[in-house]
Structure 1
Amino acid sequence: MSEAPKTDHAYDGIEEYDNPLPGWWKWLFIASIVFSPFYWVYYHNGAKGRSVEDQYGVALAENTRLQFAEIGDLKLDGPTIAKFMAKESWVKVGESVFRANCVSCHGREGEGKVGPNLTDEAYKNVAVLGDIGKVINNGAGNGAMPKWSNRLHINEIVLVSAYVANLRGQNVEGGRPAEGREIPPWPEPVVEEEPAADEEAKS
């Protein structure tokens, strides 16, 4: 018979050996409890950009810089923004740029916080589609909207402009009241024609 100590517990005649957890395990468990509130405050209730999701968005935006060789340096104007508004994969890149840099002022869905609501039909500094890119690039409101030309690649500005333009008319619930004036609808993007098969063969 084993002489190992037993607990005072007995269930239907079944006794239980007294085998306590190792001290290091108990202290590790206690330390994890003490650490968890600080972890929660830092990653889930702290500054924007600290969550795993936000960090992923930043990493994704960085990775897209490697993809820009595919499209070259874009021109920051209305037709280019309209063109990329219709390209879902590139609009998602613009969304990741927005989530990484713009949510603190404009809200996660563009509903507006310190900055204006981007999901209604009213605009303060935009009259035509190309103005979105100009505002992002150069700033507006005497610095209330900072310029991003010194922090973002020109392609990121074009793509985030396409994403912001696509937010128009979504009217996110609980958004900031409309500011500015209503403007005409965005122009339809120009559809690029694919080269004919015989022309490709000749080239």
Structure 2
Amino acid sequence: MRSVSEIVAPSSYWTLAASFGSNTNILEINLINLILVLGVLFYYGKGVLINFLENRKRTILNTISDAEERYKEATEKLKRARTRLQQAKVKAAEIRINQLTQMDREQRDLVDAADEDLRRLEDSKNYTIRFEKQRAIEQVRQQVSRLASERALESLNSRLDNELHLRMIDYHIGLLRAMENATD
């Protein structure tokens, strides 16, 4: 049967290794292998690593540039928004002042209209009072006149007899004839 060392490395390898000399110190061998691997990686991987770092650098610079551009745009938008806000505040103040002025004007107009209505009502009331007073006076006059006529008629009826009545008629007829002759 073959030993493990023969399976892993044939005896022909050992004869070659013996001619070069063999180093059995594992730490030294690993250090040398590590340096060799790093050297090969550095030599062949340098281009890949440089390309990767260049791409990363470009990506970072583009990201920074985009961020700066967005910052400038945002700053400009903020300035415009602040300007529009100031304009809106000024417009709101103008509207508020106009509304207050209009409210004062409408309030004065309402007060003036109420005063005018009150004056008209007062005039109407005074006219109605005068009218009612005149009507009452006229009614009293008519009533007094009617009562006076009734009393005079009663007095005449109580004093007047047929003879006095005939004399009055003759007297008035005579007056009418005299007036008729005077006009002819």
Q: What TM-score comes out, normalization by structure 1 length?
A: 0.19
Structure 1 or 2: more strand by fraction: 1
Structure 1 or 2: more helix by fraction: 2
Q: What TM-score comes out, normalization by structure 2 length?
A: 0.21
Larger Rg: 2
